[in-house]
Amino acid sequence: MAKHFRFPDVGEGITEGEIVRWLVAEGDVVKADQPLAEIETDKAVVEMPSPYAGTVLKLHFKEKDIVKVGAALVTIGEKGESSEAGAAESSAGAATAAARPAALPAPSSGAEPQATPKVRNLAREWGLDLSSVAGTGPQGRITEEDLKTAKEKAAGPPVPAVKIKSKYDFYGTLERLPLRGIRRATAKRMRESLDKAAHVTHFDEAEATALVRVRDRMKPEAAARGVKLTYLPLVVKAVVAALKLHPFLNAVLDDEEEEIVLKKYYNIGIAVDVPDGLIVPVVKMADQKTALDIAGEIETLARGARERTLDLADLKGGTFSITNVGVLGGEAATPIINYPEVAILATLRIADRVRADNGRIVIKKTLPLCLSFDHRVIDGAAAARFVTDLKTIFEDEAALEKATASSE
């Protein structure tokens, strides 16, 4: 019997994906666990293996289509079998896309329909006769979902609206590009963060002389390991040292339980710029690694992000994020929090800047620091104290060397 394979719930709140490439065609014979398609979620590109062996009877979507969790991707059965009639509704790989219970027969005309007052009011509002609605609730009770189903059936199939996409406006020619892939996922994540967190950004600046010296001393050892040492691994270690002093920045807010959850581990997300958006792989247990260990890991993760070969596990579990835009220049930024984390640090370009020092005009190497934080969890004073302690670590060679060499 033909079976539908549905887009599975792969966790981490993922509700949809984009079909990047089909690896099979209709009529192909496939084995169990054979990859069927490459699907891009807001986390990574993953291969979807077939749970069945048989012939591909139907591909339900085209490449570049957006697929919701629970939607039928492929129908697999015996060669020549219909892809529609008798297809078994399989929940394989779709753990959370549970099928609705079978509707009980609609109550007879002499029986009183079972429904709550709220459902009865809604039925009156929509002009529905409860006696004609099949209930799927306990003891045949009619639910709101049953009403919605009945309303949709009564309305009939929707009439498709004609969409006209203009290639011109008043001023000239337009080019329309589909919002897909990483750019689409980035847009959704940024909107979610702005909707759910109370964003505030604190700006400061650290003198970077000690940071430059420590990096210069570490570069020969890094080169011997075959690692290109940037400032970022040193920043990661300094941030971890500061987070240990300020645990509320290494936390999440559980809205449902109304609890602030402090993380007792330090997984640092590193924002990586890719051609079509932003990916944030995570350096796990950064407190237990040296700066040189982290340098090698960041190289590997960044390469995987650009080549789209990262595993989903590489993108999970972050507790605090860093976005380093220094190589691109700039003096300040307002980074958007990587929700559900409560803070993110942007580091700008280390450069010679004119500053006042005890009444004298001097040139100093400085590092701009921009900390965005969720004001629901962190007050402005707490954010300022965190950045002040972070600056102290950056500006003290002994403290910075201790932090970068630490692998607790």
Give pLDDT, residue 327.
78
Same domain? For 359 and 326 the reply is yes
Distance CA 144, CA 305 (A): 44
Q: Do 276 and 373 fall within a single domain?
A: yes
Q: Distance between CA 199 and CA 219 in Å, rounded?
A: 37
The answer to whether residue 398 is domain-embedded is: yes
Examine the domain organization and report whether 144 and 235 are in the same domain: no
Q: Are 75 and 83 in contact (CB under 8 A)?
A: yes
Mean pLDDT score of the chain, rounded to an integer?
A: 86
Q: What is the DSSP pairing of strand 277-279 with strand 360-374?
A: unpaired
Residue that wins the pLDDT comparison between 243 and 143: 243
Q: What percent of the chain has pLDDT over 70?
A: 89
Last residue of a domain, one of 62, 77, 92: 77
Does residue 208 or residue 124 have the better pLDDT? 208
Position 42 scores a pLDDT of 67
pLDDT, tens only, 315-355: 999 999 999 987 788 889 999 999 999 999 999 999 999 99
> pLDDT tier at 269 (50, 70, 90 boundaries)?
very high
Catalytic residue numbers read 375
Q: Give the domain extent around 122.
A: 101-158
**Angstrom distance (rounded) from CA 119 to CA 99:** 22
Nearest to 75 by CA among 96, 51, 97: 51
Question: What confidence tens digit (pLDDT) does each residue in 197-223 have?
Answer: 999 999 999 999 999 999 999 999 999
- CATH number reported for the structural domain that contains residue 401 in this entry: 3.30.559.10
User: pLDDT, tens digit, for every residue of 138-152?
Assistant: 778 888 888 888 887
Q: Is residue 54 part of a domain?
A: yes
Based on the structure, what is the number of domains in the chain?
A: 3
Residues 14 and 60 in one domain: yes
In a domain, 163, yes or no: no
Is 35 in the same domain as 147? no
CATH of the domain at 54: 2.40.50.100
86 within domain boundaries: no
Q: Are residues 115 and 205 in the same domain?
A: no
Question: So what's the pLDDT on residue 361?
Answer: 95
Domain-embedded: residue 133: yes
What confidence score (pLDDT) does residue 15 get?
A: 77
The model scores a pTM over 0.85: no
